[in-house]
Amino acid sequence: MRFYMNRIVFVMVITLVVMLGALNVTETYGEYDITLEKISGIWWTYDANDIPWAIQFNEDGTFRTALTWLRLERSPTDVGRFRLEGTSLTLISNKDCKGSCKGLKGRYKVVFTKFNKLLLKEQEDPCVQRREICCLPWVKVLK
């Protein structure tokens, strides 16, 4: 019986070590090296319901979000302007789209992971719809 208990404890310790290693994947780097060129482009992610989302940051200071990157031009869920100051990103919706929060400002801290995923950590955003999708890890698909 004691042998099996030791074996169970060993397996649990190994599992814990593996889980902690997986959490370390989101370790951030380069938080002070955030530039417009680095965030501009089209990024995608999946929400908790496995629905694909896309966000596009343009070098002219505009952004748009949509369900999939193919819908960014024709049927965006949100359109607006953004301002990048250091690691702080401010999003301002300026169009009534589906789920949009026209006129509301959202502030996020921009962070990149080791594997160049974009993380937008909410600092303040009254727009619930935008807040729910922005806080997901994003992968760049197009420049």
Written out in words, the top-level CATH class of the domain with range 28-142 is mainly beta
The CA distances from residue 89 to 25, 37, 40, 68, 115, in Å, are: 23, 14, 12, 22, 20
- Rounded CA gap, 70 and 54, in Å? 9
| Residue 13, helix vs strand vs coil | helix
pLDDT value for 91: 92
The conformation of residue 50, written as its DSSP 8-state character, comes to -
Task: Please write the tens of the pLDDT for every residue from 42-65.
Answer: 999 998 889 899 999 999 999 998
Q: Where are the domains of the chain?
A: 28-142
Residue 99's DSSP bridge partners are: none
Residue 42's DSSP bridge partners are: 56, 142
- Rounded CA gap, 43 and 65, in Å? 9
Residues of the chain with pLDDT under 70: 1-32, 96-100
With residue 16 as reference, give the H or E element that holds it.
helix 2-23
